[in-house]
Structure 1
């Protein structure tokens, strides 16, 4: 080997051993400084370890000596100007690095051709020199990587790693071609983002959009799974993650002030300086948004190794105003631990929990537990992967706040609107939720409005801060454009932002529009207090105790605090309780009369069903008042269920007293309600036993239907009088019966 090195020095061939890599680095620096492009070729001998095991250490050693000579000869024969040989470095064992430089940018096609030529030449020379009779057809791996020179010491290491990975997968293989394609994508940043809506399951309005990465069209890397798989294989995960986030942030310009952008953030690269050093803030300022418009999804692809360190970084994001979500909850490494440590604003349930949830009781129980937990810690649940109406309906009934999936909207470059199918289904479910109107309006929000300080959008944050400092009793300032409310600033929120490390420097001399909540809760003064209170308590935890802005014909009139809303609601609940039946909690006679009078005044066509248990007094006398009360409660539950399963809308259930009940329903749903009572009545009482008799098999109910056509009845008293007469006829029929006032001529429906 020494004689070989001496011959190489005579011919000035740049062959360098491992312990002389400083010399290689110096040569590369000179080439890069001259503006030339540098490429590393990596070579190693295939299955050399197998040869050593089979033929011995000496045979393998001789092959390595031949390889030194073969590589030198092959480089002389195959590398022609303008390609320039910089150095041949023996890395370790049978691994070699060949450094080339080019006057102009070298294409992958050119380098690929050089690799093929050099590989064939090395193998030809090497096999010619091997004289061992049983060793033949030695092959070599070859791969390449371009050296950028930004950090040469680091580039030399990473390029060897990349080129060796390329070599090991087989130079002519499909994987090698994919490796080339992946490198091109990273170098040219040839990715794009699509956005998918995240929708309120109560209103159908988008909460925001999740950004999802896609590779080039018609490429195997169009799928993000393939992209990230190759990134992990090539050690470029952080570069790809960072590239995806930079592209995602460009979507800020498409947001409305009330919407949020959900961006995936890998637990291993959470301290991305791009997100923490102000460039994102400049973009938000450009689009008049704030950090609360961005939600970082902590993905569960990799476990969080150090929660103490991780939590510190999360707090840095929170101080700047960003929101946090835990993604893939219920399916990752440590999602429950992550939730407990991070205190997220949103929990995204993995699609594995959502798939077929409508027919899986275990999944329903798990999601219900998440919903209850989220309610207690003031965060919101998002169900991912909703694809069927049955899944959507189940999530709505379980109380999940938001949803995402193909049924609601597919990912698209421009953000496709919510699908008409989903909108119609959500509207139907919303109508069903309001079907049983047991409670009366509890007053108008305009009755408790009060004033506060108002400023315009150009007012500086400094001035707003001074207003709060001078007026200790003011907790809110409304931002107006003329008389139209455009935003809201709460004292505690402003102090929290300004109290951060860079809060004053970033915002103090900026207009208040940079910090204000651009999507406060704004309602008309005629809105019902209960509905306003419900909407107020469903806001995000950061905005939960913001005042509600009150308008009249769109113009500002004042604000209402959450405390005053809850006080008024509690007062209204007491008033409702005073006119409700204490045993069942259903509306009593006062509210029943009012409900009938209101519907008569609207001149709607509706049916009143008067329901009365048969022989109830006998049951009370026979089995006691305790059992009688239980029968009354179960009757109320049964009638309420009958209304719900019938699909009836705008129905009302009231308790006249004792064993008498009133149902008010559109005529179209009468048959379904009566059918349910006939078929399922005994099921609700079958487990009640008194002494030696099964009460459930003896008990029955009589029902009288009064069709209230506009113009026939003038008052609720007239309806009640007619219902009493019809019920008397129904009582004559043994067992469960129903008679309508139009069917008294012996047309009882059994």
Structure 2
């Protein structure tokens, strides 16, 4: 009787369905005794198959037998080296055996004990389950050490680790990799590389995307391998948390106008590390704001609960962070994500960018994205740019930002635009500046500036808030240091910062220098309005409607200009240009032509003004009607455009004087080539008009081109150029066919070669 009670008593401490607190205390006691605590996970392989084949009763009997033999087998296998603390039934046929060993217990010892237990358990189980007429039953086993730093958490994670070991096999290569991955996570052995995101119009870095890398030359060196193992081991949140911490360690290198792009997987988006005050304090330490951080919501996995997802996104927005939708165009629900998230940036997947220069369908799709982004006030970033032609095409359709190996590869530091791409963008920018140079004089900034309140940088945020509350019409406060503007605070940005969960507590009594925009757009009082407007509209979405600070020649503050005034003035200029353009050809008319000539006279470079006059146009117009006449005029304008496109300088000017008279201004180096193209192409350009109306009476159109070479000091104004051109044109018209003559070829003129 006594021996029976003792046997039962010996078994009681081992089996526990839910005694976690008791086990936690026992484990802590062993850890404090400097013991090594190991949890062994055991289950019966394919017990469900036994149930399906032989019925529920047989399966329950197998499980009952296994439970009865488990304590004795455990003691026989594990107490060779140590002591059993407890045996816990987890669920179904899954059990956890908590054991205590000396610190000298090695990994090889744990493997040998596991194999020994497996052999004993299978032998005992199959000996007592003879009623099952099938192959022998198998037992899975895995193990994981409990360090003792956070016992409750480790009891949970150790089961997950041991389950993976049991799944893949203790001695398998796959599990060896799994163990290496868990070691990587434990040591947080993740490095970040940074890929530049470039503002294409000027080649400057908008910011950098932080990309995770595992140890060099390891199985986890690539991001794909790293995140595949995280997904397989259900540790995605842990890995992403480490990546975000590593990325934020580099914010000290950001300038106030630059941004750090950090990936957020929809399945691991709710990170307290980001939503609590620690990151805000870190940003404040380096005089940055949450607007310097952009969270990229990846599209590689479907968002299953948009209501909860949107709620978390709004928490990030309240903190002041910016949001981007990553991989747009390649995910499960790109458009739905965009409509739910209202992102500040849309990153187009590289699958849309690859070979876009030769794919009209992709070009049309990109144009649609660009148009959509403009309407909803967000920015497009093209990913995966790998060739110059792809970059050129993206710029042509209006994409503002880009990243890819052609622009710059990921690196450990904040890499800049590579040299080859820099040269291309610089050339493109210079060419477009020349092409888009305004043909109307634009006003200086002093004509539209206004005043706003200014404060010194040591003033507290509390005072800025009071200024806005007391002056409801004021939307901005300029921050000065010895009359030099060093920052800007917009009403909406201040309220967004203070409206966050920790905004008032963090910033209310601090100097305004900690929350101001330290890199506001500044313009000289003598800058041209169109140039400032381009710079203003190139800013990121958050600062797009910030005022522009106007300074004098000494850099001192004199006023501000709102974006609304900039846009209104630009609209009036465009209206003036449209009203003075020729309605038939759309080319600039006489007002713009005169202004352009006067502006060109101020330059020191060698240019040629080519006056173009159609010969016998009136005869064709009278004979065949105004419809044919208009067609000839439009065709001539197109011919001049084509000549300038293929052989011009990139900064050519084409105008329509009126009727059949045109003007083309190009460089001396390009004049001959432009004229030769026109002479060669002129007759074929109108051949279909001849054939369609059977014009066979011997009359043919031609063009007389009179070139006036501009060089320093020869001409004072547009009238003098026109007088000279009229004389040269008279000489040209005396010759048959389409001809080009310059004033340098006339008798008594100084002989200057127009080739330059």
Q: TM-score range by the shorter chain?
A: 0.7 to 0.9
- Check if 1:298 corresponds to 2:297: yes
In the alignment, the residues of structure 1 paired with residue 647 and residue 115 of structure 2 have an alpha-carbon distance, to the nearest angstrom, of 77
In the alignment, the residues of structure 2 paired with residue 564 and residue 28 of structure 1 have an alpha-carbon distance, to the nearest angstrom, of 69
Would the aligned equivalents of 1:432 and 1:647 in 2 still touch at CA under 8 Å?
A: no
CA pair 679-439 structure 1, distance change in 2 beyond 3 A: same
TM-fit CA distance, 1:359: 0.9
In the alignment, the residues of structure 2 paired with residue 129 and residue 286 of structure 1 have an alpha-carbon distance, to the nearest angstrom, of 63
Would the aligned equivalents of 1:51 and 1:60 in 2 still touch at CA under 8 Å?
A: no
Would the aligned equivalents of 2:320 and 2:500 in 1 still touch at CA under 8 Å?
A: no
- What is the aligned partner in structure 2 of residue 400 from structure 1? 399
In the alignment, the residues of structure 1 paired with residue 58 and residue 497 of structure 2 have an alpha-carbon distance, to the nearest angstrom, of 72
Would the aligned equivalents of 1:584 and 1:636 in 2 still touch at CA under 8 Å?
A: yes
In the alignment, the residues of structure 1 paired with residue 17 and residue 301 of structure 2 have an alpha-carbon distance, to the nearest angstrom, of 36
- What is the aligned partner in structure 2 of residue 453 from structure 1? 453
User: Which whole-Å deviations, capped at 9, do the CAs of 1:102-150 have from their partners, x for residues lacking one?
Assistant: 45497xxx23541244315632774599678998897654322334567
- Check if 1:31 corresponds to 2:43: no
In the alignment, the residues of structure 2 paired with residue 297 and residue 710 of structure 1 have an alpha-carbon distance, to the nearest angstrom, of 56
In the alignment, the residues of structure 1 paired with residue 20 and residue 719 of structure 2 have an alpha-carbon distance, to the nearest angstrom, of 104
- What is the aligned partner in structure 2 of residue 652 from structure 1? 653
Would the aligned equivalents of 1:580 and 1:586 in 2 still touch at CA under 8 Å?
A: yes
- Check if 1:123 corresponds to 2:128: no
- What is the aligned partner in structure 1 of residue 750 from structure 2? none
In the alignment, the residues of structure 2 paired with residue 70 and residue 494 of structure 1 have an alpha-carbon distance, to the nearest angstrom, of 65
How do 1:728-743 residues align onto structure 2 when only pairs under 5 Å count?
Answer: 728=730, 730-731=732-733, 737-740=739-742
- Check if 1:333 corresponds to 2:326: no
- What is the aligned partner in structure 1 of residue 349 from structure 2? 350
Would the aligned equivalents of 1:64 and 1:94 in 2 still touch at CA under 8 Å?
A: no
Would the aligned equivalents of 2:408 and 2:415 in 1 still touch at CA under 8 Å?
A: yes
How do 1:656-667 residues align onto structure 2 when only pairs under 5 Å count?
Answer: 656-667=657-668
- Check if 1:40 corresponds to 2:47: no
In the alignment, the residues of structure 2 paired with residue 236 and residue 364 of structure 1 have an alpha-carbon distance, to the nearest angstrom, of 39
In the alignment, the residues of structure 1 paired with residue 523 and residue 673 of structure 2 have an alpha-carbon distance, to the nearest angstrom, of 38
In the alignment, the residues of structure 2 paired with residue 151 and residue 658 of structure 1 have an alpha-carbon distance, to the nearest angstrom, of 88
TM-fit CA distance, 1:461: 1.1
- What is the aligned partner in structure 2 of residue 208 from structure 1? 207
- What is the aligned partner in structure 1 of residue 565 from structure 2? 564
CA pair 639-484 structure 1, distance change in 2 beyond 3 A: same
CA pair 666-37 structure 1, distance change in 2 beyond 3 A: farther
Would the aligned equivalents of 2:324 and 2:343 in 1 still touch at CA under 8 Å?
A: yes
Would the aligned equivalents of 1:706 and 1:723 in 2 still touch at CA under 8 Å?
A: yes
TM-fit CA distance, 1:491: 2.7
- Check if 1:476 corresponds to 2:472: no
Would the aligned equivalents of 1:358 and 1:390 in 2 still touch at CA under 8 Å?
A: yes
In the alignment, the residues of structure 2 paired with residue 550 and residue 135 of structure 1 have an alpha-carbon distance, to the nearest angstrom, of 88
Is the deviation greater in 120-129 or in 165-174? 120-129
SS at match of 1:22: coil
- What is the aligned partner in structure 2 of residue 114 from structure 1? 110
In the alignment, the residues of structure 2 paired with residue 482 and residue 522 of structure 1 have an alpha-carbon distance, to the nearest angstrom, of 16
- Check if 1:708 corresponds to 2:681: no
CA pair 733-86 structure 1, distance change in 2 beyond 3 A: farther
Would the aligned equivalents of 1:41 and 1:115 in 2 still touch at CA under 8 Å?
A: no
**Any unmatched runs of 5+ in structure 1?**
none
In the alignment, the residues of structure 1 paired with residue 682 and residue 353 of structure 2 have an alpha-carbon distance, to the nearest angstrom, of 34
In the alignment, the residues of structure 1 paired with residue 496 and residue 91 of structure 2 have an alpha-carbon distance, to the nearest angstrom, of 57
User: Which whole-Å deviations, capped at 9, do the CAs of 1:447-495 have from their partners, x for residues lacking one?
Assistant: 3333322111111111122223333443321101222211111234323
- What is the aligned partner in structure 1 of residue 443 from structure 2? 443
User: Which whole-Å deviations, capped at 9, do the CAs of 1:564-585 have from their partners, x for residues lacking one?
Assistant: 3334334444554565434434
SS at match of 2:494: helix
- What is the aligned partner in structure 2 of residue 507 from structure 1? 507
- What is the aligned partner in structure 2 of residue 174 from structure 1? 173
SS at match of 2:176: helix
CA RMSD for the aligned pairs?
3.8
User: Which whole-Å deviations, capped at 9, do the CAs of 1:667-702 have from their partners, x for residues lacking one?
Assistant: 33335534654676688768879974599x976544
SS at match of 1:618: helix
- Check if 1:21 corresponds to 2:17: yes
User: Which whole-Å deviations, capped at 9, do the CAs of 1:645-666 have from their partners, x for residues lacking one?
Assistant: 4462322222222122211112
In the alignment, the residues of structure 1 paired with residue 96 and residue 174 of structure 2 have an alpha-carbon distance, to the nearest angstrom, of 21
TM-fit CA distance, 1:14: 6.0
In the alignment, the residues of structure 1 paired with residue 620 and residue 45 of structure 2 have an alpha-carbon distance, to the nearest angstrom, of 93
SS at match of 1:649: coil
TM-fit CA distance, 1:404: 1.0
TM-fit CA distance, 1:51: 8.4
Would the aligned equivalents of 2:26 and 2:85 in 1 still touch at CA under 8 Å?
A: no
TM-fit CA distance, 1:161: 3.1
- What is the aligned partner in structure 2 of residue 673 from structure 1? 674
In the alignment, the residues of structure 2 paired with residue 625 and residue 698 of structure 1 have an alpha-carbon distance, to the nearest angstrom, of 17
Would the aligned equivalents of 1:25 and 1:152 in 2 still touch at CA under 8 Å?
A: no
In the alignment, the residues of structure 2 paired with residue 543 and residue 50 of structure 1 have an alpha-carbon distance, to the nearest angstrom, of 63
User: Which whole-Å deviations, capped at 9, do the CAs of 1:149-188 have from their partners, x for residues lacking one?
Assistant: 6775664444323312222123322211110011001111
Would the aligned equivalents of 1:613 and 1:701 in 2 still touch at CA under 8 Å?
A: yes
In the alignment, the residues of structure 2 paired with residue 373 and residue 675 of structure 1 have an alpha-carbon distance, to the nearest angstrom, of 43
TM-fit CA distance, 1:88: 4.1
Would the aligned equivalents of 1:147 and 1:159 in 2 still touch at CA under 8 Å?
A: yes
How do 1:459-538 residues align onto structure 2 when only pairs under 5 Å count?
Answer: 459-538=459-538
Would the aligned equivalents of 1:119 and 1:140 in 2 still touch at CA under 8 Å?
A: no
SS at match of 1:550: strand
TM-fit CA distance, 1:392: 0.8
User: Which whole-Å deviations, capped at 9, do the CAs of 1:568-603 have from their partners, x for residues lacking one?
Assistant: 334444554565434434333344344334434433
Would the aligned equivalents of 1:262 and 1:297 in 2 still touch at CA under 8 Å?
A: yes
- What is the aligned partner in structure 2 of residue 314 from structure 1? 313
- What is the aligned partner in structure 1 of residue 433 from structure 2? 434
SS at match of 1:434: helix
User: Which whole-Å deviations, capped at 9, do the CAs of 1:338-367 have from their partners, x for residues lacking one?
Assistant: 111221111111111111111111111111
CA pair 156-196 structure 1, distance change in 2 beyond 3 A: same
CA pair 223-498 structure 1, distance change in 2 beyond 3 A: same
In the alignment, the residues of structure 1 paired with residue 495 and residue 44 of structure 2 have an alpha-carbon distance, to the nearest angstrom, of 66
CA pair 27-682 structure 1, distance change in 2 beyond 3 A: farther
In the alignment, the residues of structure 2 paired with residue 253 and residue 246 of structure 1 have an alpha-carbon distance, to the nearest angstrom, of 13
Would the aligned equivalents of 1:67 and 1:126 in 2 still touch at CA under 8 Å?
A: no
CA pair 24-271 structure 1, distance change in 2 beyond 3 A: closer
CA pair 522-510 structure 1, distance change in 2 beyond 3 A: same
In the alignment, the residues of structure 2 paired with residue 694 and residue 408 of structure 1 have an alpha-carbon distance, to the nearest angstrom, of 55
TM-fit CA distance, 1:512: 1.0
- What is the aligned partner in structure 1 of residue 192 from structure 2? 193
In the alignment, the residues of structure 2 paired with residue 497 and residue 78 of structure 1 have an alpha-carbon distance, to the nearest angstrom, of 59
CA pair 559-22 structure 1, distance change in 2 beyond 3 A: same
CA pair 601-231 structure 1, distance change in 2 beyond 3 A: closer
**Any unmatched runs of 5+ in structure 2?**
748-752
- What is the aligned partner in structure 2 of residue 543 from structure 1? 543
Is the deviation greater in 401-410 or in 112-121? 112-121
TM-fit CA distance, 1:336: 0.6
In the alignment, the residues of structure 2 paired with residue 381 and residue 525 of structure 1 have an alpha-carbon distance, to the nearest angstrom, of 32
CA pair 226-676 structure 1, distance change in 2 beyond 3 A: farther
SS at match of 1:381: strand
Is the deviation greater in 729-738 or in 48-57? 48-57
SS at match of 1:604: coil
- What is the aligned partner in structure 2 of residue 369 from structure 1? 368
In the alignment, the residues of structure 1 paired with residue 28 and residue 682 of structure 2 have an alpha-carbon distance, to the nearest angstrom, of 88
TM-fit CA distance, 1:516: 1.4
SS at match of 2:596: helix
SS at match of 1:221: coil
